[in-house]
Amino acid sequence: MHISKNKLLIISTLCLLFSLSIFSFGLIIGRISSNMSTPLVFQKEENDLNSLFKPFNQAWEIVHDLYLDQPVDDIKMMQGAIRGMMDSLGDPYSSYLDPDEFKEQNYPIEGEYTGIGAWVDTSGDLLVIISPMPNSPAEKVGLEPGDEVIKIDNQTVTDLDPTLVLKKILGPADTKILITIRRQETELIDFEITRAIIAIPSVETKLIDGQIGYIRLYTFGVNSYDEFKQALSQLIDEGAQYIIFDLRNNTGGLVDSAIDISSIFLEDKVILIEEWGDGTTKQYKTIEDAISVDIPLYVLVNEGSASASEIAIGAFQDHERAVIIGKTTFGKGLIQNWIPLEGENGAVRISIAHWLTPNGRLIQNQGLTPDIEVDFTEEDFNAGIDPQLQSAIDKINEIDNP
């Protein structure tokens, strides 16, 4: 699999997978209790489960009685059974993490970690580089979007789950790692990279032509609202009369952060609708005080704009608050919940609901189509040209110079 620079399908951010929102356990328990209210029904379900699990119990006993290398590791077998159960759902977003994986994946979305500094895709058969972080070791050695990790320290990792490959890449600062990547489908290249403490970027800003405020948001994290609000206020103080909000290759993050940042530009509006499997829905509205309701807004998007990014994009588009420019977004419209398992045995991440745009549009596997479609080719990237950003600037100039 090779992903071109302008067609980045981003599923996960390096060491930053986080639940899209946290839901009440009371709600889950309430539903289970209602289903078990009749003892006869409960007894029937228990008998059905005992019958259903007979083959599993038989297989468990066979392994313990006949497997060559004894004793077997019951903990690993239990974890493998849970992992297989989650995999059988056929949902790439529902999964099991063992205790170590859960601990690593539960890092805060803002802050620091030690590694090579790259966003990656763990959804396929191989670990794929989405993009190096600015000024990171990965960027300095020349890793590129679409690079596939084939070996680590001369050990082939193509038969490992990409999340386990990711664990091998992380490590203490100032230690070296040799990564062999496949580029352009056949070419293999070795990169020796020195791990470092990586400051995870959140907001990047600049003032264009003295009146256009440009804000790029890398992730919807714990501190993103405060950083975004401060950056926007500073740009307005510097004379910005228009805002270009860059959400390209923003893989998402926290739902609450997406709602808060959308609330900066929208007042008393629905941001998203949550739809459960039984068809019931719940609306989420703006919750912060709007500070820039009237400033003209242009939002840059591409195939790497996913999840929480699409929540904001969908709200802006449905409420006709912004001009959306770029390419159709990724199409991540499922909400997951992390549920820790008893006895510190890791956690399951399970899809519990769809989210819809304020107008009720389902974006899962479809994405959001921009108002103005503009390509960003690999040739543009190599030439240092950004036609999507330039399109937004041109639209603004048309307003000032009709």
Q: Which of 292, 318, 327, 351 is catalytic?
A: 318
Q: Which of 307, 309, 351, 391 is catalytic?
A: 307
Quick: pLDDT tens for 375-397.
998 788 778 899 999 999 999 99
Task: Evaluate the CA torsion angle 204, 209, 213, 214 in order and state its sign.
Answer: negative
Read off the pTM: 0.70
- Residue 109 scores a pLDDT above 60: no
Cα 13 to Cα 152: distance, rounded to the nearest angstrom: 19
Same-domain check for residues 366 and 227: yes
332 in active site: yes
Q: Could you tell me if 259 and 389 lie in one domain? A: yes
Number of domains in the chain: 3
Catalytic position from the list 5, 229, 327, 332 = 332
Burial of 155 (0-12, 13-18, 19+ CB in 10 A): exposed
- pLDDT (tens digit per residue) in 236-284: 999 999 999 999 988 788 889 999 999 999 999 999 999 998 889 999 9
The domain in which residue 191 lies consists of: 112-199
Q: Is 387 exposed, middle or buried (0-12, 13-18, 19+ CB in 10 A)?
A: middle
Q: Examine residue 153 and state whether it is found in any structural domain, yes or no.
A: yes
148 with 221, same domain: the answer is: no
Q: Is residue 402 part of a domain?
A: no
Residues 131 and 76 in one domain: no
Nearest to 218 by CA among 111, 99, 337, 341: 111
More confident site: 386 or 19? 386
Contact 317, 329 (CB under 8 A): no
Q: How far apart are CA 127 and CA 129, in angstroms?
A: 7
Choose among 380, 64, 396, 60: nearest CA to 213.
Answer: 396
Indicate whether 290 and 266 sit together in one domain: yes
CATH number for the domain harbouring residue 144:
2.30.42.10
Q: What percent of the chain has pLDDT over 90?
A: 49
Q: Which residues is 245 bridged to in the sheet?
A: 215, 299
Q: What is the CATH number of the domain that holds 357?
A: 3.90.226.10
Claim to verify: residue 140 and residue 118 sit in the same structural domain = yes
